[in-house]
Structure 1
Amino acid sequence: MSELVANIVGSAAAVCSITSFAPQGIKIWKEKDASAVSLKTYALTVICFILWVVYGVMTEAWPVTIANACALAMASGVLFMKWRFRDDAAKAAHS
């Protein structure tokens, strides 16, 4: 397989990984409700991306590092909103 094809596939995978968190993040932001989001799942996902970033730095695999750092930022955003909107959802449930 040519290096160009491998780079195209890797770039497409990185874009998909990074943008896969956008729909969930946008939905939470618009609705100010993250009650349907699993805290454990996103916490584990953030830990996973942290480990991938560390691995990428340790091995100097910069495409891995950059792609996973971007995905880490997106997943962390969802996790932050899960924390941020937790009180709003609890208040709405008790109203």
Structure 2
Amino acid sequence: MADIIGTAAALCSITSFAPQIFKIWKERDASSVSFKTYGLTVTCFILWVAYGVLTEAWPVTIANACALVMASGVLIMKWRFERTG
């Protein structure tokens, strides 16, 4: 049961960024995204990945690494579209 709940939580964490990514990409506008919030979110996922590696908690590492990629995508688009907009 714990594995099912953990997997569901990981999938929710990872996919929660997808709507924001698609919206930003489609509209080429990230003005409603907070740079500070996503900067902190990316930092959070980096720390969780480090924790997972150090404790050899591979489900934590993998789930947070995937979420890190998604959150970083939002942050990169925020930077990119503010510079080109």
TM range (shorter): over 0.9
Distance 1:30 1:88 in 2: 15
| Ranges in structure 2 where 5+ consecutive residues have no aligned partner | none
Distance 2:80 2:52 in 1: 30
Q: TM-score, normalised by structure 2?
A: 0.98
Counterpart among 12, 18, 39 of residue 35 in structure 2: 39
Distance 2:8 2:57 in 1: 17
> Which residue in the other structure is 1:93 paired with?
none
Counterpart among 22, 33, 43 of residue 26 in structure 1: 22
Superposed, 1:1-95 pairs within 5 Å as 5-89=1-85
Q: TM-score, normalised by structure 1?
A: 0.88
Question: SS at 1:83's partner residue?
Answer: helix
- One-letter amino acid matched to 1:16: C
Which is higher, the Rg of structure 1 or of structure 2?
Answer: 1
Runs of 4 or more consecutive aligned structure 1 residues displaced over 2 Å after TM superposition: none
Deviations 1:4-37 (A, max 9, x none): x000000000000000000000000000000000
Alignment RMSD (CA, Å): 0.6
